[in-house]
Amino acid sequence: MALPVHITILGGLGDIGRNCAVLESDGRLVLLDCGQLFPDDLTPGVDSIYPDFAYLDDKLDRLEAAILTHGHEDHIGAVAHLQSRRSFPLFASAFTLGLVRNRLEEAGLLAATELNEVVDGETRRIGPFDVEFLPVTHSVPSGLISAITTPQGIILHSSDFKLDLTPLDGRVTDLARIGTLATEPGIRLLLCDSTNADQPGRTASETEVGPVLESVFRAHRGRRIITACFASHVHRVAQISAIAVAEGRRVATLGLSMKRNVALARDLGMLKIPDTSIVDVEEVERFEPGEVCVISTGSQAEDRSALALAAKGESRWIQIGADDTVILSSTAIPGNEAAVGRMMNNLVERGARVEHAGVLGLHTSGHGKADELRTLHATARPEWFVPVHGEHRHLIAHLELAESIGMSGDRTLLARDGDRIVIDDDGIRIDHGVTSGRHLYRHAQFVSYEHRPIGDRIVLGNGGLVSVVVVVDPDRLELAAEPEVTSRGWLADGDTAELHDELVEEVAGAVVAAFDDGIDDRPELERRVRRATGQFVNQRTRRRPMILTSVVEV
């Protein structure tokens, strides 16, 4: 009897984001990624969303390490939060650690955190497991597949990946090693990225983007070029800067994360921009438009991002005008389309020309499509398969894909956030709902599982607020003053005064009627005020504002 192995999913199977799983054997815990999810319009006022760490509350002392597969925020964005609760060693590539280091430093946790750099092909003892790290191609450099040797055989975790046969740095996915492991000792379980499982075909190579960028640069000679892409996409930055330098342009970065990541990548020798070609963004106005290329963050039009501010004329560094061409070397992440569209309109209104991936091949995804997933499945030939990293529809599409190439339906399992994958001598099964899979919300001031403030904000945002204050004399059983009604965002200005007056009358009538019925306790009086207000608001305006009522005794 070999010891069982558990994998508890704390996030990432249901949303694209906050990827985190707990590997457990013999009472010892190792974390596989620790990411965040970016908030959207359903979570107003939230800064970020973390995995369901409640599962770890009584187990943190047994957490021995975390493996970070690559440097994207959905894999590393919650590390500092968890490190602030308990320090544990991190294992990742040099570039990933460089990105994590910035976050730990901001949180004042860097000195207390043990950082272990791993290199391609290396095997490390991590907690109760031997983990072999294999190179894999993705939209950030130095991603790692983990082949985790456990008492129950090898678990192969694909990390986020595409199968780019011609990556910019020549570092291809080590399919040969996966094939060898598949033959001997065999792969017990494959956990595989599902992001593009519902997309047919395969993704374009990163090196196919270069010639498209080059043609856009050529077509816009003499103009200032401002490009935006993800700050962690070093290979894209490398292609943009190489073209810019070849055209005799100086390169400036815009946005803190772009500046930091370019510095990190240059330090590690991953990005070669001659010192003489780099200028500070403060200096770009000194050069002719055709002599400059700015590489910026903000390709997703995030609220306070460098490019979004520049598009609104609010940048401290850059004024967008008729001499500018803006290249968006990215596609909008689902949910960001409207904001990106607004930003493009703002740029065009300022006279700039905008080129984007919607029209030209200025971007390629970092997540393999169906053909690439089939290749990985066929190489790994796993005994069992659980799709990871996806929304529900991506996970289902990935299960169907696995079955379409010959996996038996009882060897492909669907897990969701909060579920546990149990591996023992009898096989593999899913225990559902081991932990709730709740979202942990981080606001500026606090971290909580409480959803209620967010629900309230949505009600306020959609319907506004109506407040009614009633002052009564409990001895005489009469109103001590006219009820006071205030509202925000409920009605158009012209309608407010009249409806307020009517609501005052309605509430006053309800209070008098209550006294006539002999009601003298405040809770019942409050109920009646609330009911009268609610009915009035509903019948007269057909809107659903938040209603606050209070009864005060004098």
Span of 105-113, 154-162, 238-246, 477-485 interacting with Zn ion by CB under 5 A: 154-162
* Alpha helices in 450-521, H assignment, sequence order: 452-463, 493-516
Task: Find the shortest distance in angstroms from Cβ 52 to Zn ion.
Answer: 17
With contacts defined by CB under 5 A, name the span among 64-72, 266-274, 406-414, 540-548 that binds Zn ion. 64-72
Q: Number of helices (H) and strands (E), helices first, in the chain?
A: 14, 28
Contact between residue 331 and residue 230 where contact means Cβ atoms under 8 Å apart: no
Bridge partners (DSSP) of residue 311 are none
Strand 427-431 to strand 420-424: parallel, antiparallel, or no bridges (unpaired)?
A: antiparallel
Query: Based on CB atoms, which residue is closest to Zn ion, 74 or 355?
Result: 74
Contact flag: residue 74 with Zn ion (CB under 5 A): yes
Residues contacting Zn ion: total by CB under 5 A: 3
- The residue assigned the tokens 């023992």 is 424
Measured distance CA(129)–CA(491) in Å, rounded: 62
Report which of 18, 5, 132 is spatially closest to residue 388, judged by C-alpha positions: 18
Least distance in Å: CB of 75 to Zn ion? 6
Q: At its nearest, how many Å lie between Zn ion and the CB of residue 98?
A: 16
Q: Which is nearer to Zn ion, 74 or 206 (CB)?
A: 74
Closest CA to 472 of 422, 432, 523: 523
Residue 161 or residue 384: which is nearer to Zn ion going by CB? 161
Q: Render 147-196 in DSSP notation, one character per residue.
A: EEEETTEEEEE--S-B--SS-TT-----HHHHHHHHHTT-EEEEEEE-TT
Is 157 one of the binding residues for Zn ion (CB under 5 A)?
A: no
76 membership: H or E segment, kind and range: helix 73-76
In the bound complex, what is the minimum distance in angstroms from residue 17's beta carbon to Zn ion?
7
According to CB under 5 A, which one of 73, 132, 160, 417 is a site residue for Zn ion? 160
Q: How far is the CB of 353 from Zn ion (least distance, A)?
A: 31
Considering only the stretches 72-80, 145-153, 355-363, 442-450, report the one whose residues sit in contact with Zn ion under the rule CB under 5 A.
72-80
Could you tell me whether strands 440-442 and 48-50 are parallel, antiparallel, or unpaired per DSSP bridges?
A: antiparallel
Helices (H), 358-492: 370-380, 392-404, 452-463
Is-contact 98 264, C-beta < 8 A? yes
Nearer to Zn ion, 36 or 305 (CB): 36
Extended beta strands in 346-426, E state: 353-356, 384-388, 390-391, 420-424
x/- contact string, 112-151, with Zn ion (CB under 5 A)? ----------------------------------------
Instruction: Identify which range of 87-95, 153-161, 217-225, 326-334 contacts Zn ion by CB under 5 A.
Output: 153-161
Smallest distance, Zn ion to C-beta of residue 363, A: 15
Nearest CB to Zn ion, comparing residues 160 and 372 = 160
Query: What is d(CA 296, CA 293) in angstroms, rounded to the nearest whole number?
Result: 10
Alpha-carbon gap, residue 415 to 90, rounded angstroms? 26
Angle of the 94-106 helix axis to the 256-267 helix axis, nearest 10: 140
Nearest approach in angstroms of CB 76 to Zn ion is: 10
Question: How far apart, in whole angstroms, are the C-alpha atoms of residue 404 and residue 374?
Answer: 9
Please report how close the Cβ of residue 366 comes to Zn ion at its closest, in angstroms: 6
Closer residue to Zn ion in complex, CB, 13/294: 13
Which range, of 54-62, 159-167, 220-228, 456-464, touches Zn ion by CB under 5 A? 159-167
> Which residue lies nearer to Zn ion by CB, 72 or 202?
72
Q: The tokens 């816009």 sit on which residue? A: 220
Residue closer to Zn ion (CB basis): 70 or 220 = 70
Residue placing its CB nearer to Zn ion in the complex, 195 or 227:
195
Return the range that interacts with Zn ion (CB under 5 A); candidates 25-33, 160-168, 305-313, 402-410.
160-168
User: Residue 333 or 447: which CB sits closer to Zn ion?
Assistant: 333
Question: In whole angstroms, how close is the CB of 365 to Zn ion at the nearest point?
Answer: 10
Q: Is 417 in the site for Zn ion (CB under 5 A)?
A: no
Considering the complex, what minimum distance in angstroms separates the CB of residue 389 from Zn ion?
6
- Which residue of 6, 18, 72, 438 would you call a contact of Zn ion, by CB under 5 A? 72
Say if CB 173 and CB 201 are below 8 A apart: no
- Nearest residue (CB) to Zn ion, 52 versus 160: 160
Q: Could you list the residues that contact Zn ion (CB under 5 A)?
A: 72, 74, 160
